[in-house]
Amino acid sequence: IPMDTKNLTAPSTHPATECFACYEGVVYIGHLVEDDEDGDTAEVFEPVPCRRCESR
């Protein structure tokens, strides 16, 4: 049975106009780092330029 598309309420698809993964062109990547001397771990966040914003 074909679907009636005249009364659809979903918005049409379109590419996003703004980047949702970065803050002012920077993405923060987090990872765990272990200290070799005492074995403690710490979470470190590295700022990385957003590739999506750079391509615009």
9 within a domain of the structure (yes/no):
no
Strands 41-49 and 26-34, by their bridges, are: antiparallel
51 within a domain of the structure (yes/no):
yes
Per-residue tokens: 27: 């993405």
The domain of 42 spans 23-56
Q: What confidence tier does 29 reach under pLDDT thresholds 50, 70, 90?
A: very high
- What's the total number of domains in the chain? 1
Q: State the pTM of this model.
A: 0.52
6 within a domain of the structure (yes/no):
no
Cα angle at 18 between 46 and 11, to 5 degrees?
135
17 within a domain of the structure (yes/no):
no
What pLDDT is stored for residue 52 in this prediction?
A: 84
**Distance separating alpha carbons of residues 35 and 44, to the nearest angstrom:** 12
Strand, coil or helix: 8: coil
Cα angle at 15 between 55 and 9, to 5 degrees?
165
